[in-house]
């Protein structure tokens, strides 16, 4: 509670700076327009105009919020101009990739902890992969998977047979989910290996005196002890999956999702649209990561690991 006031101050300062910067960055256009029309603009007119341009260099917060409101609440959510529609496309790819990536990551971590050959051969590569810009392969995966025809989650026929139509998010879902999974995979492996090794010798020895099997040790000691690490890697994995989904949308077809909104915005100079998509992506990240954080707090409290 003590830090609410400072945080609010900082946020207000950022917003004030933002409006100021918008005046500075957008004023050139206003003056150019006035010059062309042969009129004079006063300072207050200029300021008012910089905050209300259609394609400003830097849109001001209220324009972005207005655009967000317009494209979420006022638009039909099935419309291709609705940010809810595009957000859902991104969200579905993120979540699917996250589930697969973290699931495989946890399984591999369990394998690494139990098998020394696996540990020694895979672990150095998993750690090295953290230093590599894996995201660079996103366009290639998208294109290769569409060459192979593996883009839709359920094919058109299958989806129509089940739902009566093919839901929009299923089109082109697979490549995005694969990239999202790939990005969230390695951080989870590294984090979970650390977590599964968190129990110390005393605790492991105690289970040995109980004649506990490896499986029993995993369920009763290693997994519970790794919970804090699990949630930390889940947060990292979720953020990575979202970034993967957004970047893969730059080259995916059909051109949909928050990443696609940014790309089309930058093609047509629709700065407000880019900012709105950016804000939507940021909100989504905050909600997803925040939700994991909340579950973490609850779970750790229940397990007696935090006060």
Partner 1 sequence: MIWIYGVLIFWAAAFALNIYLSNSPWHETRVIKLVVPAIFGITILVVWEGLVRGLEVPAVILPPPSVIWQKIRESLPVFAFDFFKFPFLNIYFAQPSILWTDFVQTFAKGALTGYIIGCGSAVITAIMIDRSPFLQRGLLPVGNFIAALPIIGTAPILVMWFGFDWHSKAAVVVVMVFFPMLVNTVQGLAATDSMQRDLMRTYAGGYWNTLMKLRLPAAMPAIFNGLKIATTLALIGAIVAEFFGSPTRGMGFRISVEVGRLGLDMVWAEITVAALAGSAFYGVVAMIEKGVTFWHPSQRG
Tokens of 171: 């089109």
Q: Taking CB under 8 A as the criterion, which residues in 52-91 touch partner 1?
A: 57
Classify 207 as helix, strand or coil.
helix
Nearest distance from C-beta of residue 250 to partner 1, angstroms = 5
Calpha distance 106→230 (Å, rounded): 9
Q: Which residue bears the tokens 């006031």?
A: 5
Question: Per rule CB under 8 A, is residue 136 in the interface with partner 1?
Answer: yes
Instruction: Count other C-beta atoms under 10 Å from residue 211's C-beta.
Output: 7
Calpha distance 290→47 (Å, rounded): 37
Nearest distance from C-beta of residue 138 to partner 1, angstroms = 8
- Environment class of residue 129 by beta-carbon count within 10 Å: exposed (0-12), middle (13-18) or buried (19+)? middle
Q: Taking CB under 8 A as the criterion, which residues in 283-302 touch partner 1?
A: 285-286, 289
Nearest distance from C-beta of residue 89 to partner 1, angstroms = 15
Classify 150 as helix, strand or coil.
coil
Nearest distance from C-beta of residue 165 to partner 1, angstroms = 31
Among 120, 206, 305, 306, binds partner 1 (CB under 8 A): 120
Question: Per rule CB under 8 A, is residue 15 in the interface with partner 1?
Answer: no
Question: Per rule CB under 8 A, is residue 265 in the interface with partner 1?
Answer: yes
Calpha distance 157→165 (Å, rounded): 9
Binding site for partner 1 (CB under 8 A): 2-3, 6-11, 14, 57, 116-117, 119-125, 128, 130-133, 135-137, 139-140, 143-144, 147-148, 235, 239, 242-243, 246-247, 250-251, 258-259, 262-263, 265-266, 269, 271, 274-275, 277-278, 281-282, 285-286, 289
């Amino acid at each position: 509670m003590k830090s609410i006031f400072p945080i609010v101050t900082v946020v207000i300062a950022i917003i004030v700076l933002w409006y100021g910067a918008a005046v500075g960055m957008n004023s050139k256009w206003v003056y150019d327009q006035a010059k062309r029309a042969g009129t004079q603009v006063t300072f207050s007119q200029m300021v008012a105009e910089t905050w209300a341009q259609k394609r400003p260099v830097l849109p001001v917060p209220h324009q972005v919020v207005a655009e967000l409101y317009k494209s979420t609440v006022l638009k039909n959510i099935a419309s291709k101009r609705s940010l809810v529609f595009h957000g859902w496309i991104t969200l579905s790819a993120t979540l699917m990739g996250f589930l697969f990536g973290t699931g495989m990551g946890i399984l591999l971590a369990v394998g690494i902890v139990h098998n020394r050959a696996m540990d020694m051969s895979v672990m150095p590569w998993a750690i090295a992969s953290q230093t590599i810009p894996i995201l660079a392969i996103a366009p290639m995966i998208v294109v290769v998977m569409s060459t192979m025809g593996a883009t839709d989650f359920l094919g058109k026929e299958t989806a129509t047979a089940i739902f009566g139509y093919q839901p929009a998010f299923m089109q082109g879902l697979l490549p995005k989910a694969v990239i999202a999974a790939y990005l969230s995979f390695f951080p989870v492996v590294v984090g979970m290996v650390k977590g599964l090794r968190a129990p110390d010798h005393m605790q492991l020895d105690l289970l040995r005196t109980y004649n506990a099997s490896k499986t029993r040790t995993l369920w009763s000691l290693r997994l519970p002890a790794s919970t804090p690490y699990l949630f930390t890697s889940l947060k990292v994995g979720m953020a990575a999956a979202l970034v993967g989904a957004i970047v893969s949308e730059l080259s995916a077809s059909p051109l949909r999702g928050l990443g696609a909104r940014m790309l089309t915005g930058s093609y047509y100079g629709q700065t407000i649209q880019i900012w709105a998509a950016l804000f939507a992506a940021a909100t989504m990240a905050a909600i997803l990561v925040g939700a994991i954080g909340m579950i973490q707090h609850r779970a750790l409290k229940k397990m007696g690991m935090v006060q």
